[in-house]
Amino acid sequence: MAYFKRNRCPPVLYLSVLLPVSGVLCFSELFFYKEPHDVNVMRKDPVILDCQARGDLPISMKWLKNGVKVLENDRVYALSNGSLYIAEVESKAGDKSDEGFYQCLAQNKYGAILSQKARLTIASISPFEIQPVSAVVQEGSVARFSCKISASPLPIITWEFNRTILPLSTERITVLPNGVLQIYGVQQGDAGNYRCVATNIANRRRSTEATLTVIPVTGAILPRKPSIIAGPQNITASLHQSAILECVAIGNPKPIVSWSRLDHKPIDVFNTRVMGNGNLIISDVKLEHTGIYVCRATTPGTRNFTVAMALLTVLAPPAFVEWPESLTRPRAGTARFVCQAEGIPAPKITWLKNGERIHSNGRIKMYNSKLVINQIIPEDDAIYQCMAENDQGSILSTARLIVVMSEDRPSAPRSVRAESVSSSAILLAWDRPLYNSHKVIAYSVHYMKAEGLNNEEYQVVIGNDTTRYIIDDLEPASNYTFYIVAYMPMGASRMSDHVIQHTLEDVPLRAPEISLTSRSPTDIVVSWQPIPAKFRRGRIVAIRLSFRTSTENAINTLELPGSMSEYLIESLIPDTIYLVRIAAATRVGWGEQSAWTSHRTPKASNIKVPLAPELHLEPLNCTTILVRWQPSPVNRASIQGYKLFYREESQQERAPIELRAKDSHHTIGGLDPRRKYHVKLLAYSYIGEGYQADQTVSTPGCVSVRDRMVPPPPPPHHLYAKANSSSSVYLHWGRPAFSSGQVVNYTVRCNPVGLQNASLVLYLQTSEAHMLVQDLQPFTKYEFAVRLHVDQLSSPWSPVVYHTTLPEVPSGPPIGIKVTLIEDDTALVSWKQPEDPNVVVSHYTILYASRKAWIAGEWKVLQREGTLTMALLENLLPGNVYLIKISASNEVGDGPFSSAVELPVLLKGETANSKVKHPDGSTEAKAYFEGFYHLDQKSMTGIIVGVCIALTCILICALILIFRSKARKSSAIKAIQRSNSHLDRIPSENAETLTPMMTPNFVDTKGGTHLIINSFGPIKQNKQTKKKWWPFNYKVRKNANKSKTQQSLHATCAYQPGNTVLTYEKESPMSPHQPSLQILFGPIGDSEHSNNSEGSHETGDSGRYSHDETEMTHLSSVSSSASSEPPSLKPFIEYEPSPVSDSPHFALEVPSSCTLEAPNQMCTPPACRL
């Protein structure tokens, strides 16, 4: 009996927690405290691979190279401490070379452990893979050379100019560690020969020389939008190494280069620096540096930019997430070890027992990352190691299994017998144990397939009251091995002897999968695949082939030997649909026939069309089929593409999938498990469709019969989508933790949102946890989902993620550009969106400059949002011709600029008509009137119609006013004549009630003129009145002549520039204290005159007509010989007898301070007095 004793760790070993020592920490029975590491040495140099183990003595050490024991000799041998010494490293070809992976194996009484792998490489440097290429560069631009070479260890790259070493970094020269030389602001002195020099400990190599030719600049340097001539490339870097992302941009003015991450995470500023004029160097890369990096080149002072992207993937060696723990188990018990590791790429898990690899078979099973040992036996007492390895390294973790033995356990069951009952059942019988059989409480029956490796062992537990059991659900015509174990409360017996038994044959469960092609219009080649073993249920001894036309019921039947896999049916009718089916038989009988598969023979005239491709179908999982093909080697026509059809059995055929001529495979996803599908493929050319190839395939079940109770694996989590361009989207997702160490495949489902045709859904396969989905439509919303497949199990689809591809860069400039000069120094420019209907514009860039500024390369830049299609160009200088051009941009990049449009800005006094000229010599005749915008044809038509309507209305109103004016004038003359005869009879006290409202200044409030009024009415000034429109002028003169003939009173007026005096005389015999107001307010009761005044305001008469018209109106109002003086005016009248007559005089004094500033302005009352 063996006992397990765990010693306390010495204090020194607590340091091992911080060291990368494989194995169980403080596994005192046996452990490594020094392990070999990767080493690079020169040829013929000595090297020591250090490896030292501690534990219970004695400890033996041996070395393995590439898994094979190292044979010691005088040159290669182990030192006393266990390390391996190689006196002279050899680099001969084949097995004689010392290069390879080394491991040391330490062993003591508890078992053996294996160290991590250490790679020995011999320093070398290969010829250049990429040589620098000569370049011709314009002066002031950027020159770039590159070289690439493979070497171990990594070489140091330098450059020589005319055989002279260049500095690694100057203001204009940058040498990147990956072999790139950049020269900014190229000068004439930079012309010459350049070559790359690579150096490491093994050797130094020089590349071929490349010549740089510098072209001088002639003329002005035109503005140029930024462009990236050398963008970052997708790179993979190991943990703690350096990553170099190059970005070289040109433009005028010189663009500014900036970096960001597509996921908007901040860039690590502590381990990142910019080298040269925009190259990003990340030193000591870590996992968090993984991502898509965006280089952006921007024109200074604008939003005009362009971008380039690259994916940085950081590789990491394996690291344990969960370690196996040592176990103590009784005999016949079960031990379970768990081990999980992570790394990039995902590490592979391997289990070792005493340093040797374990294979899953029988009692020992490996599920995902678990090791399960059933029916433990004494030989299972050992040291177990979990080894996780990927391209970046390997690590191991150690645990021990201790088996506890019981003394009074029962002996093994005896005389185990097996008898075949059917094709899927075997009867098993045995005798009870010879010793301690009364302690048996149950029996355990174990069985598995006898042939092959990694077969799964099944276990059935039955009571102790029987020694017979029928095991069913077996595969027909297969060999099985059985053994039995007796159990007691404290342990179990040893295993019984093994017995092997064969199940009986049965009829085939499935017909073969057939493929149909034609070599000529009169034949069909029928080929079929072997039936899988689990459906064959025995040896196939015969094949039955049946065929007929689709229009006939007569069936032709052929029976062929079971060893055949192809048959040619001849003498058929061209261009006819034939139906074919197949069946297979074992010695027991015929199996089920397949469904009819249709095939149309080619037309007799289709001799030059492509022949049928060689078609191969392979189920990748329960829902996906991989279609592979090769064109026929004897094709007589060039292939333009392929058409792929598929349908489920007994279902209608779907629309064809169009494939390119260069395609050789396609994945059909979204299928149902355990279904048969018909697939048809044909090639087509410009002549027509070629011969078709038909084949059937069945999808497997997602879960086998015995695994129905096993739940499906969880779907991938944290699915993330990010548009990489207008036609690609980058996806990445999290891998479930349970799947570490297993081979996991993923299916990515992609389709536009709202897709109706299911055949256009895209299914993609990958083994990585990320994918770049390409060939998508620009600016289209897609939905993505992912599922994983492991051990014939498929997870549900992950939650759907929606993402929209980026829009395309505008391929054309804005159209319909129009420029209008709306002021002396301001122009309005308008345009329409580019013609491409799918383009999305985020902003427009307007460049404008005068000819002089354009020659000097000095453009003014305006930017407007994508929703605006016009802009104002201000501060334009007269006497210049301006050039205007516009481009459309979005977040992806900038579109081309339009052709320049010329706008002349004229000096004052020059003609306002000009033409907008295009640089191609064409002109657009445009009238630029001051104060008018340029309008399109529809707007101009509307304006013309509106103006015509307005003019018509004005003309009608003018005619109405003319006729009404005639009527008022005639009535006014009659009223004056009547008033002369009876005005004296009107009482003076009634005059005040008839007085209209007036201002203190009796001035013409409508005309705003310097009008002098006496008792006869308004007096014309000597200044000649400006003639107005002739119809009105004529009528005014005519009425004025009539008024002059009616005047019988004489008026005197003293007029000075500073004062205006209004006087009148009374000729009729009236009271001297009652001066008449008629001369001021018109005839008493002249309501017509009042209406005329109001009507004048209603018609908008602002005094802009002739003074003659105004005089005519007042003249008709004041021509009266009788007057009455109201009492209300007595205090304001200064009466003096005239020296000529006794008539009183009425004077109105207007001070010089009372001025009329505007035609309608009146003098303020306090400034005037009577």
**Alpha-carbon span 895 to 277, nearest angstrom:** 25
**From CA 897, how far away is CA 846, in angstroms rounded?**
9
Residue 362: φ, ψ to 5°: 70, -115
In which element (H, E) is residue 235 found?
strand 235-238
CA distances from residue 25 to 31, 211, 980, 1047 in whole angstroms, order as listed: 8, 61, 138, 137
Q: Which helix (H) or strand (E) holds 243?
A: strand 243-245
Three-class SS of residue 938? helix
The answer to whether the beta carbons of residues 291 and 730 sit under 8 Å apart is no
Classified as helix, coil or strand, 925 is strand
Cα of first residue to Cα of last residue in the chain, in angstroms, is 147
Q: What per-residue confidence (pLDDT) applies to 89?
A: 86
Rounded CA-CA distance 303/48 in Å is 61
Residue 851 corresponds to which tokens in the numbers above?
A: 């000819």
Token pair of 428 as six digits: 């098993």
C-beta atoms surrounding 356 within 10 Å: 13
Closest CA to 749 of 676, 668, 805: 668
Q: Which residue has the tokens 């970096």?
A: 259
Backbone conformation region of residue 656, classed left if phi is above 0, alpha if psi is from -120 to 50, else beta: beta
The CA angle 118-119-123, to the nearest 5 degrees, is: 140
Name the DSSP letter for residue 1091.
H
- pLDDT score for 1043: 45
Rounded CA gap, 579 and 755, in Å?
34
Quick check: 808 and 728 in contact, CB under 8 A? no
Count CB-CB contacts under 10 A for residue 49. 23
pLDDT value for 655: 83
398-423 burial by CB neighbour count: b if 16+ within 10 A, else e?
Answer: bbbbbbbeeeebbebbeebebeeeeb
Pairing of strands 118-122, 39-41: parallel
Alpha-carbon gap, residue 99 to 89, rounded angstroms: 8
Query: What does the alpha-carbon distance between residue 289 and residue 266 come to, in Å, rounded to a whole number?
Result: 10
Q: How far is CA 664 from CA 609, 616, 683, 765, in A?
A: 19, 11, 12, 15
Q: Give me the half-sphere count of Cα atoms (radius 13 Å) on the Cβ side of residue 14.
A: 3
Q: Strands 335-338 and 762-766, how do they pair?
A: unpaired
Q: Which two tokens stand for residue 398?
A: 């150690």
Distance CA 527, CA 517 (A): 9
Residue indicated by tokens 């020995």 = 120
Give 267-272's long-range contacts (Cβ < 8 A, gap of 24+): 267/293
How many Cβ atoms are within 10 Å of 281's Cβ, its own excluded?
18
Strands 327-330 and 393-404: parallel
Q: List beta partners, residue 556.
A: 547
H or E stretch including 689? strand 689-698
User: Is residue 159 a contact partner of residue 135, using CB atoms and an 8 Å limit?
Assistant: no
DSSP string, 945-996: HHHHHHHHHHHHHHHHHHHHHHHHHHHHHHHHHHHHHHGGGS-GGGTTTTPP
Go through 189-204 and write b for each residue having 16 or more CB atoms within 10 A of its CB, e for each that does not: ebbeebbbbbebebee
**Secondary structure (3-state) at 208:** coil
Q: How far apart are CA 1136 and CA 374, in angstroms?
A: 148
Cβ contact 1144:1137 at 8 Å = yes
Q: Which two tokens mark 10?
A: 């010495």
Give me the amino acid identity at 238. S
Amino acid at 852: K
Burial class (CB in 10 A: 0-12, 13-18, 19+), 981: exposed
Instruction: Give phi and psi for 216, each to the nearest 5.
Output: -70, 155
pLDDT < 50: residue spans in the chain? 1-26, 704-709, 912-916, 918-936, 981-1009, 1015, 1021-1170
pLDDT of residue 136: 92
User: Is the pTM of the predicted complex or chain greater than 0.75?
Assistant: no
What does each C-alpha distance from 718 to 733, 752, 787 come to in angstroms?
5, 21, 12
Q: Which of 1033, 1032, 1011, 1013 is nearest to 958 (CA)?
A: 1032
Long-range contacts of 253-256 (CB under 8 A, 24+ apart): 253/223, 253/299, 253/300, 254/300, 255/226, 255/297, 255/298, 255/299, 255/300, 255/305, 256/297, 256/298, 256/299, 256/300
How many other C-beta atoms are found inside a 10 Å radius of the C-beta of residue 17? 9
Q: β-strand 305-322 against 235-238: which pairing, if any?
A: parallel
d(CA 641, CA 685): 7
Tokens of 1117: 């109002």
Q: What is the DSSP string of 824-888?
A: TTEEEEEEE--S-TT---SEEEEEEEEHHHHHTT--EEEEEETT--EEEE-SPPTTEEEEEEEEE
